[in-house]
């Protein structure tokens, strides 16, 4: 059975972050290239550091019996963000605790590695992964993504849906974009005053 991927997208200019969770058993992160945390190194969640291949690895505070999950990202700043959120998730959901391993790597290399893993029936693929927006089509065309309709529906009125619809096919949404770049317009008031224009009255 082909292992499919759940996508969450972080879009910044020409880049989208797609968190990809592979459908299947909860231990799918065990062969993803990130070592799962054991009880021996569970004393602290502050386990960030460089791995042998130069990537950065971070883990949240280990929870005995928690579901092992692996996340790949090409943004090193996301390591602390995701591990902190994993700890908060565990505090709020002790019956569904997760042990999250976050690994960063160079974007192009990581995209290639994940696509190869998906083409190998998901062997070695992470549960969650950032996918650059330019590579998104390859994962959709390969039918590697799981729809996130049940996750998106409750928040349709609270999020900018146009950012989610970019990653759908009309029937399903395969990515959740959680970044929206701010836009700012500056007016030269000397010119505006000279022209008799009030910027506050401009409708776009």
For 186-204, write each residue's pLDDT tens digit: 889 999 999 999 998 988 7
Tell me how long the chain is. Answer: 204
What pLDDT sits at residue 69? 93
Whether 66 shows a pLDDT value over 90: the answer reads yes
What is the token pair recorded at 142? 């390969």
Quick one: residue 151, left, alpha or beta (phi over 0 = left, psi -120 to 50 = alpha)? alpha
- Residue 3 and residue 22 in contact, taking contact as beta carbons nearer than 8 Å: yes
Average pLDDT of the residues in 72-98: 92
Q: Encode pLDDT of 12-59 as tens digits.
A: 322 333 444 433 333 434 344 433 333 344 444 444 455 555 567 899
Question: Model's pTM, two decimal places?
Answer: 0.63
CA quadruple 43, 48, 50, 55: dihedral sign:
positive
C-alpha 18/C-alpha 133 separation (Å) is 8
C-alpha 189/C-alpha 204 separation (Å) is 18
What pLDDT sits at residue 85? 93
Banded pLDDT at 2 (limits 50, 70, 90): very low
Whether 127 shows a pLDDT value over 60: the answer reads yes
C-alpha 128/C-alpha 100 separation (Å) is 10
What pLDDT sits at residue 7? 47
What pLDDT sits at residue 147? 87
Question: Which CATH code for domain 5-201?
Answer: 3.40.190
Instruction: Tell me if residue 154 falls in helix, strand or coil.
Output: helix
Average pLDDT taken over every residue of the chain: 75
Whole-number percent of the chain with pLDDT over 90: 26
Average pLDDT of the residues in 163-186: 81
For residue 146, which of 1, 26, 10, 4 has the smallest C-alpha distance? 4
For residue 44, which of 70, 71, 62 has the smallest C-alpha distance? 62
């Amino acid at each position: 059975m082909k292992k499919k991927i759940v996508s969450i997208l972080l879009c910044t200019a020409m880049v989208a972050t797609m968190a990809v969770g592979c459908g299947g058993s909860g231990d799918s992160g065990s062969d993803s290239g990130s070592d799962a945390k054991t009880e021996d190194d569970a004393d602290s969640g502050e386990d960030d550091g460089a791995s042998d291949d130069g990537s950065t690895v971070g883990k949240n505070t280990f929870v005995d019996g928690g579901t092992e999950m692996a996340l790949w990202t090409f943004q090193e700043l996301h390591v602390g963000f995701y591990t902190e959120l994993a700890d908060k998730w565990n505090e709020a959901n002790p019956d569904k605790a997760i042990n999250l391993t976050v690994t960063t790597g160079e974007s192009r290399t990581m995209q290639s590695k994940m696509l190869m893993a998906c083409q190998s029936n998901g062997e070695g693929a992470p549960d969650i992964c950032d996918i650059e927006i330019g590579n998104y089509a390859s994962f959709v065309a390969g039918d590697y993504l799981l729809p996130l309709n049940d996750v998106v529906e409750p928040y349709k009125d609270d999020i900018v849906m146009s950012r989610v619809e970019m990653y759908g096919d009309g029937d399903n949404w395969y990515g959740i974009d959680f970044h929206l770049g701010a836009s700012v317009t500056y007016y030269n008031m000397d010119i505006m005053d000279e022209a008799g224009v009030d910027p506050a009255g401009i409708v776009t």
